[in-house]
Amino acid sequence: MTASSLVPPATIAFLGLGMMGRPMAARLAGAGFKLRVFDVSQKAVSHFVGAHPSALATASAKAAAEGADALITMLPDGKIVRQALIEGRDAAREGLGAGALVLDMSSSNPVDTQKLARDLAASGVALLDAPVSGGVKRAVDGSLAIMVGGSVADLERARPLLDAMGKTITLCGPAGAGHALKALNNFLSASGLVAMCEALVVGEAFGLDPGTMVDVFNSSTGKSNATEVKGRQFVVSRSFASGFSTRLMAKDLRTAGDVAQHLKLKMPMLQQAMGYWMAADGKLGAGADHTEILRYAEMLAEEE
């Protein structure tokens, strides 16, 4: 299989049509790729194919993989990715031909990703881990930041796919490097969001206007992704509609913590961030948007 194989109209299997997977797959369909899609939610598959009639609905990961030049996973975590690719019933590997390329664009544990790469290589299938940052809005407009782990040759093969979904594509190192960097990026993102929310809670109690605070942060040294992208839009407005859950942020922080533990590194702030977000997930409940961390900060502020 040559590098030119992955330009449109190459056939791409896409597993996972959730909040992020759906617009990412739509970008590929719009770019002219032939899509074979699968999700455990048949409703999600039906809605996608209804909106993109050129895409083919399939009944399993294996069926999606059959005849595909490349396969993309956008699933909740690495354990589910492994089930879909190797260990589950009708796993995708059974349908992939030798020479196919797998791109795991989920947020997975990088140590597990390294093992997955070795296991797929034994079947003649290459793996790139290519997690994304930017949220639903940037998935829709195709401007995601994509962090890639794997070989230069496989990245170049996959570049037409990635270009359809992302604006910044960075080779971070060998297998697992993309997933490691994504988890560490989300540690910074999560920490900045908590810091902003706690500042807003204190400032509002003092009598400051939350919107004014965010505007000042954005013209001062406190500026961050949280203040610029989430401050007025999702937190001050209390719409809490970023499209990324508290539960997934807590999961990504656990991944970052697992990497540090695997390397026998003591990281106190990372440990504190993990504890904070895991406790918030427990309090806010399933389905809470990660920008609702403001509500958790407010709960803590009122504790005796």
- pTM comes to 0.91
Note whether 167 and 272 are same-domain residues.
Answer: no
Cβ-contact 241, 235 below 8 angstroms: no
pLDDT in the model for residue 82: 97
Q: Length of the chain, please?
A: 304
Catalytic sites, residue numbers: 182
Q: Which amino acid type is present at position 135?
A: G
134 and 92 both lie in a single domain: yes
pLDDT bin (cut points 50, 70, 90) of residue 303 is: confident
Based on the structure, what is the number of domains in the chain?
A: 2
Which pLDDT belongs to residue 304?
65
Same domain flag for 193 and 152: no
Do 134 and 208 reside in the same domain of the chain?
Answer: no
- 106/265 Cα distance (integer angstroms): 25
- Could you tell me the pLDDT band of residue 1, with boundaries at 50, 70 and 90? very low
Is-contact 150 159, C-beta < 8 A?
no
* Per-residue model confidence (pLDDT) at position 212: 98
What are the pLDDT digits (tens) for 50-88?
999 999 999 999 999 999 999 999 999 999 999 999 999
Residues spanned by the domain of 212: 180-301
Q: Residue 65 in contact with residue 96, Cβ under 8 Å?
A: yes
CATH number for the domain spanning 109: value is 3.40.50.720
What CATH number has the domain bearing residue 276? 1.10.1040.10
Average predicted confidence (pLDDT) for the chain = 95
Q: Based on C-alpha coordinates, what's the Rg of the chain?
A: 20
- Give residue 241's Cα distance to chain centre: 16
* Helix/strand/coil for 74: coil
pLDDT per residue as tens digits for the range 130-139: 999 998 999 9
pLDDT by residue (tens digit) across 113-130? 999 999 999 999 999 999
Distance of CA 207 to the CA centre of its chain: 37
**Cβ count within 10 A of residue 78:** 24
More confident residue, 117 or 304: 117
> Which run of H or E residues covers position 37?
strand 34-38
> How distant, in Å, are the alpha carbons of 93, 175, 234, 284 from that of 74?
16, 17, 24, 25
